[in-house]
Amino acid sequence: FFFFFFFFFQAEDGIRDFCLSRGLGDVYKRQKLNHAIKFLKAGNKVKVSIRFRGREMGHASMGYDVMNNFWEQCAEYALVERKPKLDGRQMIMFLAPNKEKPNK
């Protein structure tokens, strides 16, 4: 019952989760960016996360670069609600939809 309950109400919170990685290819980054923009246009918040594994923890600054690059590409549709922050082995950033609708 709990399993059904969890997945039934998961979409109700209005937050969509996107996992990036430091070595993710350009095609996959573009695909995740397009999905994030679609959700932001619909009025949902977006949670962007990067999980560091092993030696990647020594290069957390590259994770900040990936996060900032992701935000810059969707800055027309999103505001940073919570800046990228390293929490253990995971870096998390929250994006909120822009209140102004872009003219298109």
More confident residue, 8 or 41: 41
In sequence order, which residues have a C-beta less than 8 Å from that of residue 82 and are 6 or more positions away? Answer: 92, 93, 94
Average pLDDT over residues 84-102: 85
Q: From residue 96, how far is each of 9, 25, 81 by CA, in Å?
A: 20, 25, 6
More confident residue, 45 or 10: 45
Using CA atoms of 6, 12, 13, 18 in order, give the dihedral in degrees to the nearest 10. 80
What's the CA gap between 62 and 83, in Å, rounded? 15
Q: Over 70: is that where the pLDDT of 104 sits?
A: no
Residue 30, both tokens: 């573009």
At 4, the pLDDT band (50, 70, 90 cuts) reads very low
Confirm whether pTM is higher than 0.85.
no
